[in-house]
Structure 1
Amino acid sequence: MRRATVYDVAEEAGVSIATVSFAYRHPGRVKDTTRAKVLSAARKLNYVPSASARGLARGRTGVLGLYSFDLLLEHPLGQPQEFREEDEEDEPDLRAYPLYVDEVQRGFELACWHRGQAVLLSSATASAKGETVTDIAGRVDGLALFSWSGKLSTLESLAKTIPIVMLSQSGGDLPVLYLSVDNQTGMTEMVDHLVEVHGVRNMAFVGSQEYPEVRERFEIMCSRLSQRGLIAPESAIDEGFDSPQSFASLQKTVAEGRLPDALVCANDQTALGVLDALRELDVKVPDDVVVVGVDGILAGRFASPPLTTIQLHMEQLGRVAADQLAQRDGRPWSEPKTMTVSARLRVRQSCGCNPTKQRTRSL
């Protein structure tokens, strides 16, 4: 059956299409009897007003977009496998979910929900990211993007038409809002805790340097070690986590007896994979080596041992992104802007701490 249009409602009610539009958008400008006639005709025809059509009329869609390129996982890092239907007895593996992305999305959606604003979510594989981000940008009044590794020319073009928030990036030259977490404070607290509380003297950083926020964490760690008179690693252990050779460099490090005092991981997902790899190598955490992460995802609390991490307030990141985009009302930024949200150290057993006993002693 053909979907009813504003023209059908106007004909059924015996009014103009402008009157139908006013009945929905500006009811105070239409007589009560006329509006009742329009609504009755709409119900009879199962008519639903088109939000996109209204948006085109005023140059706005009323929708904000969130684009999370390549941050979806089908299985835990370091465990490649073909997709299969789960058996009824199987339980989902928390390590397969990028919960920091979920938390950002939750904050973004809640902020929009409070304003009665719709959200358009999108993601893409590496081969299609340019096309999909352009597509979603054409449907929204503002767009938040997770770590972008595509062509800068694409973003340059988009930033001229709508406001864009770059999530988890501390700065750049594009006329967008760079919204990040306070890596400086978090990583500094982490290094200081490991050195002062656990006597750590040498650390290795585990994680790909592909993304700006990961490079920033590595650089902050190295800088803080140097400030404390300790030797910083020249490079990170850049693992191919989603391949049969996952953690090969880490395995080689263990085999050659070069394991450092601590492994500082780029994020919690990487840290959870490292814990699994070390367990298979019969390396005990934290007795043989300390392992810490960044993000504070739920899965880290249930790891064995529970993961010490830098707790990033990712839901707040999503809320701030949505609020900033809404304030722009479709107007692009004319110059680069930066904002940060807070971070704090969460100590658990993977660094050698026992928070439960510490809380008991303080009572």
Structure 2
Amino acid sequence: MRKTTVYDVAERAGVSTATVSFAFRRPDKVKPATRERVLKAARELDYVPSANARGLARGKTGALGLYSFDMMIERPQGSDLEDFTAEDIFEHPEVLVYPLYADEVQRGFELECWHRGQAVLLGTAVSKRDNGSITDIAGRVDGLALFPNRGTDDLPLPRLCRSIPVVRIGDADDELPAANVICDNEGGIGALVDHLVDVHGVTEMSFIGELTTYDMYRRFEAFRSRAAERGIGVGRPLLDDSVSSSKEWLVNLCEAVDVEGLPRALVCGNDQTALSVIDVLRDAGVRVPQDVIVTGFDGILAALIGSPTLTTVRQPMGAMGRLAAKLLDERGGVPWDEPCVHRLPVKVVLGQSCGCA
């Protein structure tokens, strides 16, 4: 099939090729109605603006892109913005905010690009339906890595995957022609549950986490499956699924504390949640790990230096970023024909929150 060109889009939208170019590169120069007409035509024709078509002598941009969606955290989970200012960050660096999962992946991506002589273009969406920014980035790089989550479902990923090589970090899709770099969520959660049962004799546990990402959802499913295999009671199906940025963060946990309905162990979907859970329990006079065991997943810096140190599952976040950059660089701008999955191993790291350190 012939690749759609700027001329096809211009003809469909009834504008000049220059207007099409401005619609993508300089939207401020185009009337909103005209730009929407151009973007509509581009969507209908599966068109992504190509850096090659912009007259680059090399035929390639020499850059790789990394795109995130709402992956940065401005303040600790559950805190009010007015109580956590930029001055606070300057005076007291907050490891509950940085570095986190996406930060470590990004560092690995940038390091690999540096070693390979590739420039890096970073981008993030400003709203849930911000399709223009990712399309613009895709048109300026030879390959694009991104963090899929439920906020990216509206993005034109099928169209992008047919235009440039795309790596999905932290998610596997068996339909999109892209590379998927994931960690062994199932193995990590399984090993964690086994440790709690075999070493600590836990017979009842619950999962805490917001299921807004595919990683978290897989961890929850793996938790339910492994607990069932081991004959462990899981209490309420999901102890808490509140949004971390809301003022109602961990409400279900607080209610369980009030009625003394806590299980022996709380398996959290990630380290950030686990550290917040420990704070809530401490404020309520519940001791960790004497009264309740708490575990996390990711292995971020804060988990290693907090008190108590966190029992968690460390995923190789830096290696995931480096692998994403390596895969994109080796494709040389050519999209994948079919999905491929690269699953990296994880490791249980024992800390004080389960009583092992």
Q: Normalising by structure 2, what TM-score?
A: 0.80
Between the aligned partners of 1:89 and 1:266, the Cα distance in structure 2 is 29
TM-aligned CA distance change 1:88 to 1:156, over 3 Å: closer
1:211 aligned partner: 213
Aligned Cα RMSD in Å?
A: 2.0
Displacement after TM superposition at 1:279 (Å): 1.3
> Which residue, 153, 156, 169 being the options, matches 1:154?
156
TM-aligned CA distance change 1:234 to 1:137, over 3 Å: farther
Between the aligned partners of 1:86 and 1:353, the Cα distance in structure 2 is 37
TM-aligned CA distance change 1:79 to 1:333, over 3 Å: same
Between the aligned partners of 1:283 and 1:55, the Cα distance in structure 2 is 64
* Cα distance per residue 1:3-23 (max 9 Å; x no partner): xxxxxxxxxxxxxxxxxxxxx
Structure 2 residue 262 is matched with structure 1 residue 259? yes
The one-letter code matched in structure 2 to 1:256 is V
1:11 aligned partner: none
Displacement after TM superposition at 1:183 (Å): 1.1
> Which residue, 219, 222, 228 being the options, matches 1:220?
222
Contact 1:73 1:98 in 2 (8 A): no
2:120 aligned partner: 119
**In the comparison of the two structures, how many residue pairs are matched?**
304
TM-aligned CA distance change 1:290 to 1:337, over 3 Å: same
Larger radius of gyration: 1
Contact 1:147 1:167 in 2 (8 A): yes
TM-aligned CA distance change 1:68 to 1:228, over 3 Å: same
Displacement after TM superposition at 1:331 (Å): 0.7
Structure 2 residue 336 is matched with structure 1 residue 333? yes
> Where does the alignment leave 5 or more consecutive residues of structure 1 unmatched?
1-50, 355-363
Displacement after TM superposition at 1:148 (Å): 3.1
Contact 1:64 1:140 in 2 (8 A): yes
> Following superposition, which runs of at least 4 residues in structure 1 exceed 6 angstroms of deviation?
51-55
Alignment of 1:1-363 (within 5 A): 56-82=56-82, 84-86=85-87, 90-127=91-128, 129-149=130-150, 150-151=152-153, 154-232=156-234, 235-236=237-238, 237-354=240-357
* Cα distance per residue 1:37-57 (max 9 Å; x no partner): xxxxxxxxxxxxxx9999723
Deviates more, 1:66-75 or 1:166-175: 166-175
Contact 1:347 1:353 in 2 (8 A): yes
The one-letter code matched in structure 2 to 1:141 is D
Displacement after TM superposition at 1:131 (Å): 2.1
Displacement after TM superposition at 1:170 (Å): 3.2
Between the aligned partners of 2:233 and 2:325, the Cα distance in structure 1 is 41
Contact 1:72 1:98 in 2 (8 A): no
Q: Normalising by structure 1, what TM-score?
A: 0.79
* Cα distance per residue 1:95-139 (max 9 Å; x no partner): 012522121111111111111110111112334532221121111
1:12 aligned partner: none
TM-aligned CA distance change 1:317 to 1:89, over 3 Å: closer
The one-letter code matched in structure 2 to 1:269 is Q
2:4 aligned partner: none
Between the aligned partners of 2:55 and 2:101, the Cα distance in structure 1 is 32
> Where does the alignment leave 5 or more consecutive residues of structure 2 unmatched?
1-50
Between the aligned partners of 1:56 and 1:316, the Cα distance in structure 2 is 32
Between the aligned partners of 2:110 and 2:102, the Cα distance in structure 1 is 12
Displacement after TM superposition at 1:276 (Å): 1.1
**SS across alignment from 1:277:** helix
Displacement after TM superposition at 1:73 (Å): 0.9
**SS across alignment from 1:94:** coil
The one-letter code matched in structure 2 to 1:56 is L
Contact 1:165 1:178 in 2 (8 A): yes
Displacement after TM superposition at 1:260 (Å): 0.8
Between the aligned partners of 1:129 and 1:152, the Cα distance in structure 2 is 9
2:44 aligned partner: none
